[in-house]
Structure 1
Amino acid sequence: MNIRPLLTDLQAILGPAHRRTLRIYLAWVITYGVLQGVAAALLVPALRALLSGDLPGAMTWVGVMAVVVAATCVAHYIQAMKGFAVAMVVLTTMHERIGDHLGALPVGWFTNEKVGRLSRIVTTGTVMVGGLFAHLLTPLVAGAATPATIALVTFLFDWRLAVAMLVSAPLLYAIFNWAGRLVGKGDQLSDAAAVTAANRVVEFARHQRTLRAFGRGAEGHRPLDEAITEQHRVGRRAMWLSVPGILAGGFATQLAFTVLIVVGVVLALGGSVDPVALIAVLALAARFTGPLAELSALSGAVRMAHNDVRRIAAVLEEEPLAEPMVPAALPCPGEIELSGVSFGYTPDQPVLRDVSFTVPPRTMTALVGASGSGKTTVTRLIARFWDAGAGTIRVGGADVRHQRTEGLMAQVAMVFQDVYLFDDTLEANIRVGRPTATDEEIREAGRLAGVDEIVARLPHGWTTRVGEGGAALSGGERQRVSIARAIVKDAPIVLLDEATAALDAENERYVREALRTLMTRSTLLVIAHRLQTVVAADQIVVLDNGVVAERGTHPELLAAGDRYAAFWQERNRAKGWRLTASG
């Protein structure tokens, strides 16, 4: 069983500051295993003297053995304490290290599947890594060091038995490795099924309103039922995968012991080994196979633990956004420029192709286009959720790749299409925009965004908790809170993604007034659907299948009679629809 990859991943999890702690622990575990092997080897001269009637000699060897056993006990205690210390380091720093690393990853990394897996990693993975030091790593390392020591010491008594021990080692290693791979494969299948099932459970709980609205609350949720069924099926397969490895490991260990006995008996019958010495050496052979039997039993558990360790290490190996040591200067505050930008979420499916346009400071640009044309992707690239595959994006006159994340985010405020509010007070949710804002600034931002009207209706005013995701508020009210965040942040640039797409008349009025406030102090890039928003823009950029099809003002684009004119006519016809009663 090759434990080097496991140790490499453990060092990655601990980080450079604690790698020495791991090395010291491993050194004590190896010392403990070697001393165990030496103590077992001392049985040979002790038994030989005892069985040959040399009582003083036997007592001398027993005394030496007692000293080695005492040293073994000391080494066991020290390695246990060192292991406990390493486990505590992991448990107290791993979440912090993962959190710090996640904060440096591009936002585009956080898909639903990865977030679900991450949740499993930081819960069960943490427990497994802690248990690795408490229950698995010591018997694993010592279980290899002890038989190796015994095999080497056996050369002092009979080189043929020692060779038999060493010859059995590759066979045992191959079988243990094979058994571990089987268990590891089953664990990987189980983990993938468990992540899917967990995501489905969360989905089922989170969307109970929708499910019950369509009569699905009591009957269940088919994707959840299928995920749980698949998890049970995979669990059974994983169990059956482990059975051959467990049986083979136990059989190989017993076979090795049997081979050693046969070799010893053959040598004794041939007169090459004294029968008294044979009894002592066979006792040593039993001690040789004992730790190996324990290794066989642990091989599956160790491989499962390594899978958890590998998943944690894989998160820490994810490449963070590259950031400059010295951020670039900002010669044009409030300006946005895209120059020849191309991008795709997958290499073979480009979303944007050679997109170029400039948004001058303190102006409003409306992005217009069909669903899937790349409008939202443009705003995400400006905020550097991903890096463009080709071309350059400049914010404030500097390439976003030459700016540090905190510096870029200080220039940009975003109003997302799906507004998320934290399970906190209304005031705290607005303060997310700028934690250092005063109470007066929070109140003023709320007034400008129409949040004060919501506050007047809430039982506890500004201190009312809005529930997870803002469940206590309507969609339009959540949009107003998001606008208030952008106002209180007072950033030079505001990106609004579908900010006025599906609001009732009252909420749209508040949002529109807030936009007028933002236009006086910030550059606005708006993904617009409402005709009033489009007409009010200083510049309109029309995207079609990821390319800039048109760019200009409202009158210019209408006069061109191309895609924008068709969009305008279609929206005007839709605006004129009325429901009439049939006679």
Structure 2
Amino acid sequence: MIALLHRLGLGADPRPLARYLVSAAVYAISAGTAFGLLVPLLSTLLAGHTGTAARWLLPLAGTVLVGWVAHYEQEVRVLALASAWRRRLYQRLGTHVVRLPLGWFDGGRAAQVEQLFGGGVETAVRTVHLVQALLGALLTPATVFLFLLCYDPRLALTVLVTVPVVLAVFVLARRITDRTEAAHHAATRQASDRLVEFAGAQPVLRANGRGAGGRALLRDALQDQYRTARRQVFGALPGEHLGQLAIQLAFTAVLVVGLLLATGGRVDAPRIVALLVLGVHFLRPFADLAGIAGGIRACRAALVRLDAVLRTEPLPEPAAPRSHADASIELSGVDFGYPPGSPKVLTGLDLVIPAGTTTALVGPSGAGKTTVTKLIARFFDVDRGAVRIGGVDVRDIAGARLAELVSVVFQDVHLFDGTIEDNIRVGNPDATDEQIRQAARRAQVESIAARLPGGWASRVGAGGGLLSGGERQRVAIARALVKDAPIVLLDEATSALDAENEAAVHAALAELARGRTLLVIAHRLDTITGAASIAVLDGGRLVEQGTHAELVAAGGRYAALWAERECAQGWRLAAH
């Protein structure tokens, strides 16, 4: 765990941590010392020697004062240290995540990052607070034991013998609890997934008359959760009570030895009472160790997750960035599969897209069309071959410069919960209001603002939920227009639009294509018949390339796709 903290940079400046540890140690030792000084005070007081007992108040008060100062210092330093660690982790995560390849965020990684920035960092920072609890649970009993050793070695030996037994029982109890907790957490997660699935599937279930029947999986998951919850309760009870039983038995052993010493006349009664009080304070902190151990495991798990993200290598930046000649695109002998070592999505792909032209990528699902756009934008690096812009390998272009060269309009557009203008300005934060409005007009966005109650000042909702899919596409196109990148990649931008939105989006795309290199992925072949070039992918390879007329005449893969489209377009409902 110390190595993890060091890798995460939390021990970069050891002085604040050292001062915190010293103050926590002084407080823990002072607490043990105060308990130790109670023995002569109580024994003389119970023996009726009030004057002698009063003299012990001075060192006891001094110890309490030292403990109070140390406790105050500890609390001030733990707050400062926790704040510094939290700030350090947020800075490192924020700086590192923005350098990771965009492809890393596929497959649910965005949710993982969200969890790390939320509970992950807070759990990791809790390590600071656990340190003081751990020091207290170790140093306070150790100090008390030294006093016991000085006062009566026989009683000290008795409490020392009970320590391994108590710790062994706590380990056993924790293992019992861990098994039941793991099963309950798994069942709870399954029930939560089923609940979300059941809620999200309501339109499908009701449309198919399965509103009631669709509860079966959810009901089974909830019943399983109930059963595991009962097992957790009954399984955790022995674990919870075993530890307490061990402490009580240990205290009983100390009490028996103390009574034997008292009845045998070897220790007077007032002193044995004081020593037994000290023995209680020796054993009490061990009850906290189980909770501390669980907290340490949770903190370590959070640190491991943070470390895994921070150890993910970003795409390498070129040592000597090169300048591109134009906005042409070339893929040469490209092999690629993700994750590395998996079957190839693209194999030996060669594709040339001249600057200032519109090229369409078509092919069956899984042919690798979207992968091509991700490689051009350098979401990933190729396994073999090269992707070039203006004759320069994208790996030799600075990342910031590549981001300026390429705009990507995805099929699923994400908008932020701001105004339309705010979302368009994402493309170019330095754009003027006039440039934003001009891009909006060219992308057919003005009609969207006109229908919203607040016009341009209306918020679009989280993810753009207050707009239709076609309207979000038009905002994304306006965003690309205001960015004014020479290369634009469109991934299924018109795949599922109604007629009105499709016409508006096509008009916006026509504006976007002017003077730019445009690569369009489309399943609807009738939308790309006017492209200067159509590239047909199949099985990760380029099988055909040419104009619409040339490819139809060739009678190859594209002609077959076009024939399927013609056949599908000719269907109609017949009256019976």
Q: Tell me the TM-score normalized by structure 2.
A: 0.82
Give secondary structure in 2 for the equivalent of 1:156. helix
Give the aligned partner of residue 538 of structure 2: 544
The answer on whether the counterparts of 1:184 and 1:303 sit within 8 Å (CA) in structure 2 is no
The answer on whether the counterparts of 2:323 and 2:397 sit within 8 Å (CA) in structure 1 is no
**In structure 2, how many angstroms separate the alpha carbons of the residues matched to 1:206 and 1:521?**
44
Give secondary structure in 1 for the equivalent of 2:336. strand
Q: 1:30 aligns with which of 22, 25, 29?
A: 25
**Could you tell me how far 1:237 is from its partner in structure 2?**
4.4
Q: 1:79 aligns with which of 71, 74, 80?
A: 74
Q: 1:41 aligns with which of 26, 36, 42?
A: 36
Give secondary structure in 1 for the equivalent of 2:284. helix
**In structure 2, how many angstroms separate the alpha carbons of the residues matched to 1:205 and 1:435?**
39
**Could you tell me how far 1:144 is from its partner in structure 2?**
1.9
Give secondary structure in 1 for the equivalent of 2:407. strand
2:324 matched to 1:331?
yes
Give the aligned partner of residue 435 of structure 1: 429
Give the aligned partner of residue 65 of structure 1: 60
Distance change >3 Å, CA 193–CA 276, structure 1 → 2: same
Comparing 112-121 with 163-172, greater Cα deviation is found at: 112-121
Give secondary structure in 1 for the equivalent of 2:330. strand
**In structure 2, how many angstroms separate the alpha carbons of the residues matched to 1:524 and 1:208?**
40
Give secondary structure in 2 for the equivalent of 1:373. coil
**Could you tell me how far 1:30 is from its partner in structure 2?**
1.9
Residues 180-191 of structure 1: matches in 2 within 5 Å?
Answer: 180=174, 183=177
Give the aligned partner of residue 410 of structure 1: 404
Comparing 556-565 with 247-256, greater Cα deviation is found at: 556-565
Residues 240-255 of structure 1: matches in 2 within 5 Å?
Answer: 240-255=234-249
**Structure 2 unaligned spans of 5+:** none
Distance change >3 Å, CA 550–CA 307, structure 1 → 2: same
Give secondary structure in 2 for the equivalent of 1:155. helix
2:431 matched to 1:444?
no
Paired amino acid for 1:256: A
CA shift digits 1:47-92 (9 cap, x unpaired): 5666778766554444222211221122122222333334455667
**Could you tell me how far 1:510 is from its partner in structure 2?**
3.4
Residues 218-229 of structure 1: matches in 2 within 5 Å?
Answer: none
Comparing 532-541 with 244-253, greater Cα deviation is found at: 532-541
2:303 matched to 1:313?
no
Paired amino acid for 1:341: D
Q: 2:250 aligns with which of 245, 248, 256?
A: 256
CA shift digits 1:229-281 (9 cap, x unpaired): 66555544444443332112212222332333445566678888777765544
CA RMSD in angstroms comes to 4.1
Give secondary structure in 1 for the equivalent of 2:466. coil
Distance change >3 Å, CA 173–CA 538, structure 1 → 2: farther
2:470 matched to 1:476?
yes
Distance change >3 Å, CA 79–CA 158, structure 1 → 2: same
**In structure 1, how many angstroms separate the alpha carbons of the residues matched to 2:177 and 2:15?**
31
The answer on whether the counterparts of 1:424 and 1:466 sit within 8 Å (CA) in structure 2 is yes
CA shift digits 1:361-399 (9 cap, x unpaired): 323332211112221222223333344445444445554
The answer on whether the counterparts of 1:341 and 1:393 sit within 8 Å (CA) in structure 2 is no
**In structure 2, how many angstroms separate the alpha carbons of the residues matched to 1:535 and 1:331?**
30
Paired amino acid for 2:535: V
Give the aligned partner of residue 370 of structure 1: 364
**In structure 2, how many angstroms separate the alpha carbons of the residues matched to 1:270 and 1:194?**
58
Distance change >3 Å, CA 459–CA 209, structure 1 → 2: farther
Give secondary structure in 2 for the equivalent of 1:328. coil
CA shift digits 1:73-131 (9 cap, x unpaired): 22122222333334455667766655444434444444675555655665566776777
**In structure 1, how many angstroms separate the alpha carbons of the residues matched to 2:337 and 2:488?**
22
Give the aligned partner of residue 145 of structure 2: 151
The answer on whether the counterparts of 1:120 and 1:195 sit within 8 Å (CA) in structure 2 is no
Give secondary structure in 2 for the equivalent of 1:410. helix
The answer on whether the counterparts of 2:335 and 2:344 sit within 8 Å (CA) in structure 1 is no
Distance change >3 Å, CA 403–CA 321, structure 1 → 2: farther
**Structure 1 unaligned spans of 5+:** none
Paired amino acid for 1:336: I
Q: 1:355 aligns with which of 349, 353, 376?
A: 349
Residues 485-500 of structure 1: matches in 2 within 5 Å?
Answer: 485-500=479-494
The answer on whether the counterparts of 2:419 and 2:457 sit within 8 Å (CA) in structure 1 is yes
**In structure 2, how many angstroms separate the alpha carbons of the residues matched to 1:221 and 1:433?**
45
Paired amino acid for 1:154: L
Paired amino acid for 2:163: A
Residues 71-470 of structure 1: matches in 2 within 5 Å?
Answer: 71-89=66-84, 98-110=93-105, 114-116=109-111, 138-180=132-174, 183=177, 232=226, 234-263=228-257, 278-296=272-290, 298-299=291-292, 302=295, 306=299, 309-310=302-303, 313=306, 316-317=309-310, 319-324=312-317, 326=319, 328-339=321-332, 340-345=334-339, 347-395=341-389, 397-401=391-395, 403=397, 405-470=399-464
**In structure 2, how many angstroms separate the alpha carbons of the residues matched to 1:455 and 1:47?**
82
